[in-house]
Amino acid sequence: MPLSCSQLSVNYGRRRALHGFSLAMEKGEIRALIGPNGSGKSTALQALAGLVKASEGRADIGGVAVASMSRKVIAKKLSFLPQQPAAPDEMTVAQLVRQGRFPHVGLFRSYDRRDEEAIEWALESTGLAGLADRTLQELSGGERQRAWISAALAQEAAILLLDEPTSFLDIGYQVEVLDLVHRLSRERGVTIIMAIHDINQAISASDRISLLEKGELRFDGEPKALAESGLIEKTFRVKGRFVEVAPDKPPHFDVELTKLPPSNS
């Protein structure tokens, strides 16, 4: 199993951000992590990446405890894209993407053809080849987001953790990112878990969904089952219904733009 965790708990001071979170991912699976703000999605991703210390439970990459691996070993197997990462403004796209090769080249080895190819592939996959020389400061929010995704891709890890990869992107680029995620999973067998806010994107782009609420796992299963569970309305405290869009596809959630119950007309 490429990535799994069991009974993972994380505390920030006295606040319990994640409580007994478990997950088991198949190779090439796309997992969407959904839940209200502050439900522990980012914490779960960071705990899986070994970036925050779990007070209980453990995360494993390929059956080996993440806590026992060095950052370099983890980075070769797993790449993590945090939410709204910050970089020095004068850094160019190419320079940022090159940093993704750090776990491979280490402190001294010079970049060889293999590394340059990975960088080129990462830039092309995110449509940034033409912008490689721009500084991050000169990019739009969407381009910057893609530059970061590109850096994560350059790591060429078999596991990809994305924290809200579609935020700040217009719908065109949102679809592009989801499409890229799909291609990585199906063509390269990359195992992907992403925190995402758009429920319909989560439903249509993922193989399985984990729903978090207040740091606890409320649901783990296929999108269709989530639609039938009625948990979306309850967890997010909204009214809405699932509508069928195509017979062989999971339904879409149609939300009512008011929290009030409909009047009896």
Partner 1 sequence: MSTKASAIGQPSPWVLPAAVTLVLISFLAAVFLGIVDVPARDVLSALTGSGSPEARSIIFDIRLPRIVTGILAGVQFALAGLLLQTITRNPLADPSLMGVSQGATLTVTMFLLFTVYLANPNSHSVNELPIAWLPPAGMVGGMFAGGIIYLLALRLDLSPLRITLCGIAVGAVMHALAIGLIAGWGSARIEIILEWMSGSLYARTWDHALFLLPFTVVGLAMLPLIYRPLILLRFDATVARSFGLSYRRQFSLVLLVSCALAASAVGAVGPIVFVGLIVPHLARFLAGRHFPLVLPLTIVLGAVIVTLGDLIGRLAGGAEEVPIGVVTALMGVPVLLALLRKIP
Interface with partner 1 by CB under 8 A: which range of 104-112, 178-186, 188-196, 207-215?
A: 104-112
Q: How far is CA 28 from CA 159, 188, 224, in A?
A: 9, 8, 19
Nearer to partner 1, 62 or 88 (CB): 88
Does 87 engage in binding with partner 1 (CB under 8 A)? yes
How many residues touch partner 1 under the rule CB under 8 A: the total is: 43
Which of 14, 15, 63, 108 contacts partner 1 by CB under 8 A? 108
Does 28 engage in binding with partner 1 (CB under 8 A)? no
Q: Which residues contact 45 (CB under 8 A, 6 or more apart)?
A: 33, 80, 161, 163, 193, 195
Does 117 engage in binding with partner 1 (CB under 8 A)? no
Does 94 engage in binding with partner 1 (CB under 8 A)? yes
Does 66 engage in binding with partner 1 (CB under 8 A)? no
Does 75 engage in binding with partner 1 (CB under 8 A)? yes
Window 136 to 175, contacts with partner 1 (CB under 8 A)? 151-152, 155
Does 99 engage in binding with partner 1 (CB under 8 A)? yes
Interacting residue ranges for partner 1, rule: CB under 8 A: 46, 49, 51, 70-72, 74-76, 79-82, 85-88, 90-92, 94-95, 98-100, 102-103, 105-108, 116, 120, 123-124, 129-130, 132-133, 135, 151-152, 155
